[in-house]
Amino acid sequence: MIKESIVKALSDQANAEYYSAYLYLAMSAYADRAGYKGIANWLFIQAKEEIAHGSHIYGHILERGAVPLFADIKVPETSFNSIKEVFEKVLNHERHVTSLIDKIATLAEEEKDHATYNFIMWYVNEQIEEEATAGDILAKINLTNSHPGLLFSLDAEFGTRVCNDPFAGD
């Protein structure tokens, strides 16, 4: 039987993933209105992936015989000054999410909940990719300081991103 402390921690993480989706939607809306449709597309797809992350946790709690806890989803920041600022905040946010995931892994170890530990390892690995991707994008955006035209190339590149279900086949 899954412990209450684990149900609470996983439910909080599902909420944090849905908040991530909200935050990335707000960023997507900013990029869209600023004329960067490709970057808006990239962020919109990122938001969809975050919803998939949250829903996968929700499904895991149910699969373990418990009921997920529901709570308000925080209202995200909606005002940004530049695309660079957006991706600085994406990177900071993903670092924060990594710290949340690490806490769940530690709790699962302490509670000797091997199923949750095994489950949360997918997220541990995903966070390596999330931070690396955000860092790479930020590095490219920093290049646009000296070559502003590069931002339009980046926008075109990001416009090609399509949504892949990270849990297809599960």
Point out which residues bind ligand FEO (CB under 6 A): 17, 20, 50, 53, 94, 97, 130
Give least dist CB 73 to ligand FEO, A. Answer: 14
- Find where tokens 């797809």 sit: 45
Structure tokens at 104: 């769940």
How many angstroms separate the Cα of 88 from the Cα of each of 46, 77, 82? Answer: 15, 14, 10
Give least dist CB 107 to ligand FEO, A. Answer: 18
Which residue, judged by CB position, is nearest to ligand FEO in the bound state?
53
Residue closer to ligand FEO by CB (options 6, 57) is: 57
Rounded distance, CA 129 to CA 124, Å?
9
Give least dist CB 52 to ligand FEO, A. Answer: 8
Please state the separation of Cα 159 from the chain's center in Å.
19
Residue closer to ligand FEO by CB (options 59, 150) is: 59
Residue closer to ligand FEO by CB (options 57, 151) is: 57
| Among 129, 158, 168, CA closest to 45 | 158
Give least dist CB 53 to ligand FEO, A. Answer: 4
Residue closer to ligand FEO by CB (options 17, 113) is: 17
How many angstroms separate the Cα of 90 from the Cα of each of 84, 113, 120, 139? Answer: 10, 31, 21, 13
